[in-house]
Amino acid sequence: MQLASSNVDVAETLEILGRSSVSLTWVDLYKVYEIVRGNVGGDKQLKATQWVSSGDLSAFTASANRPDVSGSEARHARATGTGLPKRTMTLAEGEAFVRSLVLAWWNYLGGQPSA
């Protein structure tokens, strides 16, 4: 909580992830991903941290964005690109991915939040 009081990005992630897992959507999870990505300086810097694998990140973004993967729960109404992605995630897997990313980010920021 101390980290959240001094970092607006951490506070915002706590607000989103503090909701019941039942109510979290791909939109919520992607917002958290965008907060972390922005805080560390963008896609290139996030990948350089090695907090998540490139394959997991690709599966997360495809699953969050593509209606041909996540149906009406996807962030977008139409899929871009051709063919289905090699890997996808369920919403529960997406939530686990984002929570793992957030914990690595918090540790990087120097906080030790409880799980």
Give me the residues of the chain with pLDDT under 50, please. Answer: 112-115
| Contacts within 8 Å (CB) and 24+ apart, 68-76 | 70/26, 73/25, 73/26, 74/26, 75/26, 75/27, 75/30
> What is residue 1's predicted lDDT score, i.e. its pLDDT?
65
Tokens linked to 94: 């997406």
> What is residue 3's predicted lDDT score, i.e. its pLDDT?
79
